[in-house]
Structure 1
C-alpha cells in the first residue's frame, strides 16, 4: 500500500509566546520504552508498569517520554510523575485507525509528560509523511507528540524499526518541526537509529541542538540554550528490552 495517511491534532497552539527564561534550572529527562503494547517479543505484561513507576519515583523527572505504551498507562504512571501535563498519541494502522494494545481496546503509542512548572497548554501530535508501509514492524504508522511553549517545549517519538532511511526521514521531519517551537526545547524517544551505521543517528543532528544517546537507539536532543550534565542507563530488570535513559540538563545562568 503506497497511500500516506497524516493525522494532526493541534490545540491552543496559535499565538504561543516565546518560552520563559529558566536560567540556572536543572531539568531531568527520563526516556523509557516499556514494550507494553503486547505485539513484540519483549512484552512482559504489567511487570513493566511497576518497574516504570518505581524508576519514575526514584529519578523524579520533570520530563518523561514513554514509547510502546497503552493509552491507559497515562493514568497509571501519573501518580509516580506527580503534577504534570500529559499527551498521548496513537500509532495508526494502514487504514488510519489507531493501533490497539493486545487484548484491549486501549490505543497503542507514545506518552509525553511535563511537570506543571514547565508545561505549556499547546498540544500537537501526528504521524509522519515518510512511512515504510510494506512491513514496518507490526504495520503501524509511527507517531510523534509535542507539548510546546511556557518554560519548555518537549516532544516524544518512536521511529520506524525496519527501515533506517525511513527512520532518518522521520527524525529530520520532527527536528525541523521542533526548530520552530519556543525554546528551550527537548526531544526524547526511541529513534531506531544508532550512532554508527548507514544512515546513522548523526545524519539527523540539526544545527542548534545537541544530543546524547544510550549507545543504542534511545536519544535525547536538547536545544543549545540547555547544557547536558549527567547521563545514566537504568536497568529495567528484564521488564522490557530497553534500559531507562536518564539525562540531566541545565539552563546556564547568565554571565
Structure 2
C-alpha cells in the first residue's frame, strides 16, 4: 500500500458516436464515427504547473475495475461495488484506474473524489465515455435514471510534473450485430507524462472483440498520440472479453514494443516496454463479478 495524494481537478472529454453501415464480418456491424458531444472542466492547482515528465524510477501502478453497476446485469449488487472500489483505491493508491460498467456519477461524484483524497496535494483527472445504444441512437443509460453507462478512467500526476490533460473517447466501428449496446473506449493524455486508455470490448462476439482490440492498440491509440504530444509511456486497461490462448488469442493483439499482463481471464493491461514490469495483484471483490486487477510498473 502506498500514500501520495491529490486535490486539484481536471476533466476534458471528447465523446464520439457512430452510425450503422455495412457488416465487415459475419455477426459484426461496421459503422463510421462522428462527434456527438464535448464536455470539459478544469480547476487549477495552487502554484504554477511545470511541464516535467514523471522521472525515471517512479513506481507507476495501474488498476482495472469492472464494477457491474449498470443496474441491468445479474451481477449488479445495488451499487455496493462503488464504495468497495473506493476502498480498493484508498488501499492501493494507483496512478491510473480504468473502469468498466460504471455510471457517469460513479466516476465523477464518487470514485474521482476518492482518488483526489488518496493523492491530496497532487493532480487527479477523470474522463468518461458512454457505451452507445444503437436502438435509440443515444448514449446507453444506467437503470433507474442513474446517468450514462460506459467506461471511465481516473489518473494521477505528481504536482511537480503536472502540465495539463487532454482526453478523447469513441465508439468502435466494429460492433456485435446482435446487441444494441455498442462498446466504447476512452483515452487520456497527462501532458508530457503518459497516456492512459480504458475499454470494455464486445462480450458476445469474439470476432468483434478481436477487431476492437486491434483497432484500439494499432490505430486509435497511435492516432491519439500523434495528435497530442507524440510518444510517451502508455497503458491500456480493461475488460477485453478475450483470453490468453483463447480463440482468438488476445496475445496476437499485442503491438511491437508493448507487453500484456492478464488476470487469467478477460481483464488485461497492455503496457509499453519503457514501463518496467514489477508485479501483479488480483484483488478480491465481493459486489461485482470481476476481481480488481493491479499491474505495478516502474518508469525507466
TM over 0.5: yes
- 1:91–1:151 Cα change, 3 Å: same
The match for 2:140 among 80, 99, 102 is 99
Q: How far apart are residue 225 of structure 1 and its match?
A: 0.9
Q: Does 1:81 align with 2:105?
A: no
Cα distance change, pair 7–87 in 1 and its aligned pair in 2 (3 A): farther
Name the residue aligned to 1:212.
261
Q: How does 1:175-186 map to 2 (within 5 A)?
A: 175-176=217-218, 177-180=220-223, 181=225, 182-186=231-235
Separation (CA, whole Å) in 1 of partners of 2:126 and 2:20:
33
- 44-53 vs 157-166, which moves further: 44-53
Aligned length: 243
Would you say 1:235 and 2:276 are equivalent positions?
A: no
Contact residue 19 and residue 184 of structure 1 kept, 8 A: no
| CA shift in 2, pair 1:22/1:179, >3 Å | farther
- Find runs of 4+ consecutive structure 1 residues off by over 4 angstroms: 7-12
Deviation track 1:104-154 (CA, whole Å, cap 9, x = no partner) reads 15000011011133674211100000011223xxx2110000002420100
Indicate conservation of the 8 Å contact 2:112/2:125, yes or no.
Answer: no
CA contact (8 A) 1:98 1:108 kept: yes
Q: Does residue 1:171 correspond to 2:205, yes or no?
A: no
Cα distance, 1:229 vs. partner? 0.8
**Alpha-carbon distance change, 133 to 152 in structure 1, aligned in 2, over 3 angstroms:** same
Structure number with bigger Rg: 2
Q: Which runs of 5+ in 1 are unaligned?
A: 13-17
Cα deviation for residue 158 of structure 1 reads: 0.3
Q: Secondary structure at the match of 1:72?
A: helix
For residues 44 and 193 of structure 1, the distance between their equivalents in structure 2, rounded to whole angstroms, comes to 25
Q: Structure 1 residues 250, 144: closer, same or farther in 2, change over 3 A?
A: same
**Please, what TM-score do these two structures have when normalized by structure 1?**
0.89
Residue 64 of structure 2 corresponds to residue 31 of structure 1? yes
2:177 pairs with 1:144:
no
Tell me, in whole angstroms, the C-alpha distance in 1 between the residues paired with 2:115 and 2:34. Answer: 28
CA contact (8 A) 2:258 2:271 kept: yes
Deviates more, 1:176-185 or 1:1-10: 1-10
Find the counterpart in structure 1 of residue 292 from structure 2: 244
Moved more, 145-154 or 24-33: 145-154
- For 2:283 and 2:100, locate their aligned partners in 1 and report how far apart those are by CA, in whole Å: 16
Counterpart contact for 1:10–1:124, Cα < 8 Å = no
The one of 170, 193, 209 aligned to 1:126: 170
Higher strand proportion: 2
Could you say what the CA RMSD is over the residues aligned between the two structures, in angstroms?
2.1
Structure 2 residue matching 1:167: 3-state secondary structure: helix
CA distance in 2, matches of 1:220, 1:19: 25
